[in-house]
Amino acid sequence: MIYFVFYVVILLINFLYDQLSIEKIFQSRMLIGTNNNTKSFLESPSQISMENYKKDKIEKENSKKTLQNKSENQEFGDYLLIDDACKGIETIINLFIDDPESRGDALFNILKVFQSFLKNQKVVNIPESFFHFKIMEHLFSIILNNDEIYEPRHISESIICLSYLYKSESICSTFISNDLLSIICEMVRDNVFPNILGYLIEIIRIFIDIDHSLLNLVNSIIPFQFMIETSTKNINLIDMFSSYFYDYIDFLKPISPDNQFEFLKFCSFCYDKKLKKTYQFNLWSLFLLMTPDSFLLDQFYALKLNEFVDSAILLKSNTCVYPALLIIQQFYTLFQLPENFQIENIIMIPIRRSELDSDNQALAINTLERAFKYDLDLIVLADKYQLLDYLISNFSEFNYKMKNAVSSLFMHISTVVGDEFLENLIDNGLLYIYADTLSFTDNKLDILNRLKAVLDKVSSSPKFGIYLIFLQEEHFQNTLSEIVESETEASEAAQLLLTMTNIEDGENLF
The per-residue pLDDT for 55 is 46
What length is written for the chain?
A: 510
* pLDDT less than 50: residues of the chain: 1-7, 9-10, 12-61, 63-81, 505-510
**What whole-number distance in Å separates Cα of residue 351 and Cα of residue 189?**
49
∠ Cα 91 83 199 (to 5°): 80
The answer to whether 116 and 126 are in contact (CB under 8 A) is: no
The per-residue pLDDT for 146 is 85
- pTM for the predicted model, two decimal places: 0.78
Give the residues across from 80 on adjacent strands: 125
**What whole-number distance in Å separates Cα of residue 308 and Cα of residue 271?**
6
The per-residue pLDDT for 98 is 64
The per-residue pLDDT for 476 is 85
User: Taking the mean position of all CA atoms in its chain, how far away is CA 380?
Assistant: 36
Alpha-carbon torsion (146, 147, 152, 156), positive or negative:
negative
**What whole-number distance in Å separates Cα of residue 56 and Cα of residue 51?**
9
**What whole-number distance in Å separates Cα of residue 126 and Cα of residue 3?**
21
The per-residue pLDDT for 87 is 72
The per-residue pLDDT for 107 is 80
The per-residue pLDDT for 493 is 87
Domain coordinates in residue numbering, the chain:
1-63+76-175
The per-residue pLDDT for 28 is 36
The answer to whether 12 and 109 are in contact (CB under 8 A) is: yes
Considering only CA atoms, which of 108, 106, 93 is closest in space to residue 153?
108
Considering only CA atoms, which of 364, 363, 371 is closest in space to residue 335?
371
The per-residue pLDDT for 328 is 94
